[in-house]
């Protein structure tokens, strides 16, 4: 048993669109002693992911919305301090849906995996060796199946998922073209993540940039935006192109559906395919995927950036930061 209070962030009010600090409240409670089948985890890092916007909005989604007054749903990583589940023992590092809280009492089923890469920082389990890396690898390989020599365009190219997609595409023998906002992120794309070309959508001239960077068209478009950037890329598809719909960072409100250029004829003329991808559907492939990604981290094929916020109060604006594009690298919160 521990005396450490459970400092946590709860949903105070339901936002419409991107949540703001006022929609969250920080509170401290006694930790809940685990019952049979549960474990108590001392959480070290919380994840901040674009999907969290959807989890707090009351619109049809792949998970029910977070209830008012409930702890914010989130991936997190930490160390088991007490276990009443036969599969877990104190001292093991675990990751899963632990929520934005310091002392997480959860059923064993909430834990996705034990973090076996003890040679690597545990926070990687929230990024390149977590949902971000898995989403990048499985979204790219299962939906798009890129072939060596093909051109893969990535939006939010310097982000946690995008930067992994670009590097994985190159590891698979493709040309990678990144789209990011501002000179700093574009430099990251070129210098840290090794994109063959990187385009700054804020600088204008995206169409000309795409035409120059993709002279044979776009074979694969890994999209995390679903807004005006996508609309431009759709005009450059190659025949039999595959568009992976992975995230919707450019759209803050889907109710009612926002208007945009119809994609149908571009898909028809190019015999192209547009497909939604959710990593959660592929849990049976997480372990092999993380093993492969960890190998690439160790041999230097994959690099990453972390943007670390300090504690619960800072977490209240974290989703907003993500949607304003203020983070450079995977956004995480170091738990206070």
Residues 6+ apart with CB under 8 A from 325: 181, 182
d(CA 166, CA 10): 35
State the minimum distance, in angstroms, from the CB of residue 236 to a second copy.
11
Which CB sits closer to a second copy, 254 or 323?
A: 254
The nearer residue to a second copy, 100 or 222, going by C-beta atoms, is 222
Cβ–Cβ under 8 Å, residues 11 and 69: yes
How near is the Cβ of 230 to a second copy at its closest, in Å? Answer: 7
Q: Which is nearer to a second copy, 269 or 287 (CB)?
A: 269
Radius of gyration of the chain (CA): 20
Q: Report how far residue 224's alpha carbon sits from residue 90's, in angstroms, rounded to the nearest whole number.
A: 38
| Cα–Cα dist 255/257, whole Å | 5
> Which residue number, 75 or 277, has a Cβ lying nearer to a second copy?
277
| Residue with token string 């199946």 | 145
- The neighbouring-strand residues paired with 223 are 245
Extract the tokens encoding 248: 């919707």
With respect to a second copy, which residue has the nearer C-beta, 226 or 333? Answer: 226
Closer of 33 and 258 to a second copy (Cβ): 258
> Cβ contacts of residue 120 below 8 Å, gap of 6+?
129, 294, 297, 298
CB of 324 to a second copy, least distance (A): 20
For the bound state, the minimum distance from the C-beta of residue 55 to a second copy, rounded and expressed in Å, comes to 12
Q: How many C-beta atoms surround the C-beta of residue 255 within 10 A?
A: 11
Adjacent-strand bridge partners of 9? 26
What letters, b where the CB count within 10 A reaches 16 and e where it falls short, cover 294-332? bebbeeeebebbbbebeebebbbbbbbbbbebebbbbbb
- The residue ranges that bind a second copy (CB under 8 A) are 60-62, 223, 226, 230, 245-248, 251, 254, 256-278, 281
- Shortest distance in whole angstroms from residue 223 CB to a second copy: 8
CB closer to a second copy out of 71 and 229: 229
Separation in Å, CA 266 to CA 74, 193, 234: 37, 30, 7
Q: How far is the CB of 299 from a second copy (least distance, A)?
A: 32
Q: Which is nearer to a second copy, 1 or 257 (CB)?
A: 257
Least distance between a second copy and beta carbon 51 (Å): 10
CB of 291 to a second copy, least distance (A): 25
| Closest alpha carbon to 114 in 137, 80, 71 | 80
């Amino acid at each position: 048993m521990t005396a450490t209070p459970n400092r946590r962030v709860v949903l105070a009010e339901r936002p419409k669109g991107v949540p703001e600090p006022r929609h969250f409240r920080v509170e401290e409670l006694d930790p809940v002693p685990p019952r049979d089948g549960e474990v108590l985890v001392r959480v070290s890092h919380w994840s901040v992911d674009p999907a969290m916007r959807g989890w707090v909005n009351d619109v049809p989604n792949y998970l029910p919305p977070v209830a008012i007054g409930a702890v914010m749903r989130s991936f997190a990583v930490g160390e088991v301090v007490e276990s009443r589940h036969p599969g877990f023992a104190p001292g093991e590092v675990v990751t899963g849906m632990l929520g934005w809280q310091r002392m997480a009492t959860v059923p064993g089923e909430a834990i996705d995996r034990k973090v076996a890469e003890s040679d690597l920082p545990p926070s990687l389990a929230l990024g390149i060796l977590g949902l971000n890396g898995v989403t990048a690898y499985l979204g790219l390989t299962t939906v798009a199946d890129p072939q060596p020599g093909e051109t893969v365009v990535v939006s939010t190219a310097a982000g946690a998922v995008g930067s992994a997609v670009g590097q994985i595409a190159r590891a698979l023998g493709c040309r990678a073209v990144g789209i990011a906002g501002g000179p700093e992120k574009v430099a990251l794309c070129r210098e840290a993540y090794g994109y063959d070309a990187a385009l700054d959508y804020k600088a204008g001239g995206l169409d000309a940039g795409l035409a120059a960077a993709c002279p044979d068209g776009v074979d694969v478009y890994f999209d995390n935006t679903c807004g005006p950037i996508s609309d431009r890329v759709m005009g450059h598809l190659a025949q039999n192109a595959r568009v992976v719909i992975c995230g919707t960072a450019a759209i803050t409100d889907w109710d009612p559906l926002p208007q945009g250029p119809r994609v149908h004829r571009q898909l028809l003329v190019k015999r192209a395919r547009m497909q939604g991808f959710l990593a959660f559907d592929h849990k049976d492939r997480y372990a092999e995927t993380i093993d492969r990604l960890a190998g690439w981290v160790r041999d230097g094929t994959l690099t990453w950036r972390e943007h670390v916020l300090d504690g619960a109060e800072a977490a209240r604006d974290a989703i907003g930061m993500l949607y304003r594009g203020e983070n450079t690298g995977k956004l995480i919160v170091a738990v206070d």
